[in-house]
Chain A
């Protein structure tokens, strides 16, 4: 038994296993638990996932630690491909970002028309706002939105703007504890189990669009990368069957990700 225990983790990293570098928000939603077995039956390929922030996932892939990237920060993704680290970038799926908070909505962001306005109300009110602060795709997006408002939240770091330096789930936990507003992707929110009195308070602005891209690591930069296997997975995920599978991933009857190819 001990022997089988020692051997089995080795099997998970068998020769043909593809290493996917992806994000905590994708993993926390349960998406990979759902899609990896499907990839296995459809393509015969075993894939393993390392879930970190988008920034770290891209850096890991630059260091050739990974064969495939599934992340959400389009500018960084394009830069990654342009620098020669990646090739074959495709839009995979999307969902949206939302702001959640205590249902009393202390800064009254629910009635704001735009995301700039919602953030401005929180800042004016100096109400607590829990940020990932970890250079993840969600964090990058959140900071881009603050830039639209002209407010520099870092000037208030540790005051009302709290940078957790943690994954999405941990940041949501902290937000619930501290009664703070949290900027999150919808998939993580839907699968989050500790909502207590928290609700979605702002959604629907076009700025909140959350695009996921899929990129294979460039073999001319990383000669040992499993380029063919990675591309096989990209081909399947962006095929009609793969996109259908993404569409069918549901939690509590809610669709978490919207496939790009089908919807376009």
Chain B
């Protein structure tokens, strides 16, 4: 299966990547602005929101899976959408798992950056919207790590996606759920081979990100 790189494996890989990247993108679109706003703006329940978002970083995936399952179930409040056992349901679960990580880490990084910039910015009387944009831009290299943390959570996730996706062949089967299935069938060699592929992808993405980060940084300082 691995050597011939057959169609089934390709399909599973493609679906995995699709689900991971779409959910990561949504989580970033939501999390990066929200996390930096949380760091820059001052309002009453700010500390509480930060604490909650930190706590949500360790959401157990099976619990998220179960809650999403109950909502999307035919007897649940969103059952009419008929999304259970679809890739969309898997993306929903992934977004719920990744977004808190992006929010919390972004908030942390921008807060640290603020310490250095505060006087400069306040002397310019910068409106918060502009400040958020400036911070996000200046922190872009550190934020790569934030995105990678989100990617790590997405690509390793099995507990939630197996509940809401159902691990249906040709529909919702992804790399992690295949590994879990092959292990339960006793096909340990195949399961391990799939694991190696997943590891390779994860490592390559991380190396690529590190490479671009470094070369971009070097250019920036020239």
Interface residues of A, Cβ cutoff 8 Å to B: 52-53, 55-56, 58-60, 133-135, 157-159, 162-166, 170, 174, 177-178, 196
Contact = CB atoms under 8 A, between A and B. Distances in A.
Question: In terms of DSSP, what is the predominant structure of the interface of chain B?
Answer: loop
A174 B185 contact: no
A210 B181 CA distance: 24
Interface stretch (B32-40, B138-146, B170-178, B203-211): B170-178
Contacts, number: 57
Given A134-B181, A177-B84, A177-B85, A166 B166 contact: yes
A134 B168 contact: no
B186 A165 contact: no
Nearest to A162: B168
A59 B186 CA distance: 6
B186 A158 contact: no
A237 B190 CA distance: 36
B84 A165 contact: no
Given A164-B167, A165-B173, A55 B85 contact: no
B181 A165 contact: yes
A56 B84 contact: no
Contact of B184 (A58, A134, A162, A196): A134
Contacts of A159: 170
B168 A55 contact: no
A133 B186 CA distance: 13
A158 B86 CA distance: 11
Interface in B18-37: none
B85 A53 contact: no
Interface string B182-197: 0011100000000000
Nearest to A179: B74
Interface string B35-79: 000000000000000000000000000000000000001110000
B43 to A, nearest CB: 42
A135 B185 contact: yes
B112 interface: no
B168 A158 contact: yes
A59 B183 CA distance: 11
A55 B184 CA distance: 9
Given A157-B169, A162-B171, A177-B85, A56 B185 contact: yes
A165 B168 CA distance: 7
A166 B85 CA distance: 13
A56 B173 CA distance: 20
B184 A133 contact: no
Which 4 A/B pairs are nearest by Cβ-Cβ distance?
A158-B170, A59-B186, A56-B186, A163-B169
A170 B178 CA distance: 16
B85 A133 contact: no
A158 B169 contact: yes
Which of B75, B84, B162, B170 has the most chain A CB atoms closer than 10 A to its own CB?
B170
A206 B62 CA distance: 40
Contacts of A58: 186
Nearest to B84: A177
B143 to A, nearest CB: 37
Contact of B185 (A134, A157, A170, A178): A134
A133 B169 CA distance: 8
Given A165-B173, A174-B85, A178-B85, A52 B184 contact: yes
B184 A174 contact: no
16 contacts: A52-B184, A56-B186, A58-B186, A135-B185, A157-B169, A158-B170, A162-B168, A162-B171, A164-B166, A165-B167, A165-B173, A166-B162, A166-B167, A174-B166, A177-B74, A196-B75
Contacts of B84: 177
A146 to B, nearest CB: 15
B185 to A, nearest CB: 5
A80 B136 CA distance: 62
